[in-house]
Amino acid sequence: MSSNPTFTIATLPGDGIGPEVTLPTVKLVETIARGVGGFALDFILLDAGAGHYQQSGESLPEEAMRIARSADAILLGAMGIPDIRYPAGTEIAPQLALRAQLDLYAGVRPIRTIKGLPMPLADPRAAELDIVLVRESTEGLFKSRNACELIEDRVARDTMEITRDTSERLFDMTFRIAEQRKSRGGKGLVTCVDKANVLGSFAFFRKIFDERCKRFPTIMANHAYVDAVGLWMG
């Protein structure tokens, strides 16, 4: 009898290209796992998304949420179909409910050029891309996504919320990533991207960033407005 551990993967193929990408990914990962050996993977396919909402009236069934909460990992496909919307007019986005309920506050997105593959960017500097974007995923305007205040069909009001607790753990995690990358030859630089020149909530965000960076003296820290970063990355 095998003593190898089995890891449960809650798998939500989603909508549109989601199933087209997710199902081959499952087969690929299963093949790799068999080659590595020593463990097994149990992929549990779950219904969620705009298509499921259209059929059942639920975008993320409670049973799917329960399994996702107890799983070792979640494999999430693309979610949403532009023409299928909630009565309020917003798109079906179960991934936002997953973020909120599982407290998935950080979206970590490595960007690296793989040598030998064609590049979509003409600038030769693209051949050396190696950065990590870390995005706070639960606060800001997302915090009020289900609480839009509509006043007499004249005014719609969403409230931005940025908290110290979430910002501190976001920054601490980002600086730790920078420390790890620096130990492997990286620059050891973290840039806080915000709109602190206009919005007081982002001035608060930047203030917390400046406080937390002092805990990581080997890492350089600077700031940039989101407008400028969009230009640089374009």
63-83 pLDDT per residue, tens: 999 999 999 999 999 999 999
Q: Reply yes or no on whether the pLDDT at 229 is more than 80.
A: yes
The CA distance from 232 to 234, in Å, is 6
For 57, the 3-state DSSP assignment is: coil
Q: Provide the residue count of the chain.
A: 234
In this prediction, residues 88-111 reach a mean pLDDT of: 93
Q: Residue 2: what pLDDT?
A: 55
Output the pTM of the full model. 0.88
Domain boundary among 67, 86, 103: 103
Measured CA angle at 170 (ends 72, 129), to 5 deg: 90
Q: Residue 146: what pLDDT?
A: 86
Q: Residue 124: what pLDDT?
A: 85
Q: Reply yes or no on whether the pLDDT at 43 is more than 70.
A: yes
Domain boundary among 37, 72, 103: 103
Domain count, the chain: 2
Q: What is the CATH number of the domain that holds 71?
A: 3.40.50
Paired residues of 217 in beta bridges: none
Tell me: do 80 and 142 sit in the same domain.
no
Taking a C-beta distance cutoff of 8 angstroms, is the pair 18, 49 a contact? Answer: yes
Q: Reply yes or no on whether the pLDDT at 151 is more than 80.
A: yes
User: What are the angstrom distances between the C-alpha of 13 and each of 21, 79, 107?
Assistant: 8, 8, 19
Q: Reply yes or no on whether the pLDDT at 1 is more than 50.
A: no
In this prediction, residues 197-213 reach a mean pLDDT of: 98
Domain boundary among 77, 103, 129: 103
Tell me: do 64 and 164 sit in the same domain.
no
What are the tokens at 35? 């080659």
In this prediction, residues 38-67 reach a mean pLDDT of: 96
The single-letter DSSP state of residue 16 is: T
Tell me: do 109 and 225 sit in the same domain.
yes
Tell me: do 203 and 179 sit in the same domain.
yes
Tell me: do 109 and 223 sit in the same domain.
yes
Tell me: do 78 and 143 sit in the same domain.
no
Mean pLDDT for the chain overall: 94
Tell me: do 88 and 25 sit in the same domain.
yes
Taking a C-beta distance cutoff of 8 angstroms, is the pair 18, 78 a contact? Answer: yes
Rounded to whole angstroms, the maximal C-alpha distance in the chain is 67
Backbone angles phi, psi at 79, to 5 degrees: -125, 140
Tell me: do 129 and 203 sit in the same domain.
yes
Range of the domain at 84: 1-103
With 0-12 / 13-18 / 19 or more C-beta atoms within 10 angstroms meaning exposed / middle / buried, residue 79 is buried
Taking a C-beta distance cutoff of 8 angstroms, is the pair 145, 160 a contact? Answer: no
Residue 12 CA to its chain's centroid (Å): 15
What are the tokens at 90? 């917003």
Euclidean distance between the first and final Cα of the chain, in Å? 55
Q: Reply yes or no on whether the pLDDT at 96 is more than 50.
A: yes
Element (H, E) at 193: strand 189-194
Q: Which of 48-52, 113-117, 159-163 has the lowest mean pLDDT?
A: 113-117
For residue 161, name the pLDDT band (cuts at 50, 70, 90).
very high
Taking a C-beta distance cutoff of 8 angstroms, is the pair 174, 193 a contact? Answer: no
Tell me: do 3 and 36 sit in the same domain.
yes
Q: Which of 4-18, 93-107, 112-126, 199-213 has the lowest mean pLDDT?
A: 112-126
